[in-house]
Structure formats: C-alpha cells, structure tokens
Amino acid sequence: MSESTVTVFVCVSCRRRLGDCDDAFTLPGRDLAEALRSRLQQGGHADVVVTPVDCLAVCKRPCTVALSGADKWTYLIGDLDPQLHVEEIVATALSLGASGNGIVPWRERPASFRKGVIARVPPITAKDDRQIFIPESVES
C-alpha cells in the first residue's frame, strides 16, 4: 500500500427501509461495496481500496462511506446510492489521493459529495497551520 493509497470504508450494516414496515429493509452498503470493488478492478486503480465496516455512526443516512488516506483529511459522506454514485465515489477517492493533504478542491467534488458530506476529520499528523487547511469554498 503506497503513501497515496485511499481507503473507502463502506458501512455494510446500514438498513434502508422498504415501505412502512420496520422488518422489511435492504442493506445497500453491501451492494455499494461490491459495486466499488468491481469498478476499481475494471479501472485498475490499485491505489484505492474498499474496506467494508459495520457502522460509521450515521445510520440514518445510508449508504455511508469514509474516505481516508495517510496524512490526509478524512471525509464522511452519506446518502449514497449503489446504483447512482459509484463513479463519483471513485472520482472523489482519486482526488483525495492526488491532493497533498486530503482536502478535495470544491470544483472536483461531485454533487453527491457536496450534498452528502457529514464531517471531515484532520489527519493525526495535522499541525496548527490553518492557512494550509482552509478549503476553497470558504476562501472567497
């Protein structure tokens, strides 16, 4: 695994209710994890890996993913759909991997990222140098 490897953690435990019944639901994160793996194998993106996890603590916003890389900011994104957003998740992961600190420029953020972002968390190695971490969206 290289320094620029990005891990896409996919919650495979989120439930999406079917209708009004609490007992009828799907687990869309499982489909999303499989779709991402399939897409990455086709595209040869060895620097993006998919890791299923049980919960990212945003259970009401399935599907949820966390995008992480060494010495990079981590993004938590929800409201993703396995049929609609695979390409956008891959594009975001590649942008995060290509960036120096993990901040994905606003213009490179797909719609699902802009609408679904829940949190971003600095890398454990972050220094108190806020000039580096001010995102483009709040600069102007």
Query: Least distance (Å) from ligand FES to the CB of residue 59?
Result: 3
Phi, psi (deg, nearest 5) at residue 13: -105, -15
Q: Which residue's CB is nearer to ligand FES, number 14 or number 48?
A: 14
Residue/partner pairs of 113-118 with CB below 8 Å, 24 or more apart: 113/75, 113/77, 113/88, 115/79, 116/61, 116/77, 116/78, 116/79, 116/80, 117/75, 117/76, 117/77, 118/58, 118/61, 118/64, 118/76, 118/77, 118/78
Q: Which residue's CB is nearer to ligand FES, number 65 or number 103?
A: 65
Query: Least distance (Å) from ligand FES to the CB of residue 91?
Result: 22
Query: Least distance (Å) from ligand FES to the CB of residue 63?
Result: 8
Interface with ligand FES in residues 40-59 (CB under 6 A): 55-59
Contacts of 17 (CB under 8 A, 6+ apart): 24, 25
Q: Which residue's CB is nearer to ligand FES, number 25 or number 133?
A: 25
If one asks whether residue 14 binds ligand FES (CB under 6 A), the answer comes out as yes
Among 6, 11, 40, 90, which residue interacts with ligand FES (rule: CB under 6 A)? 11
Q: Which residues of this chain interact with ligand FES, rule CB under 6 A?
A: 11, 13-14, 55-59, 64
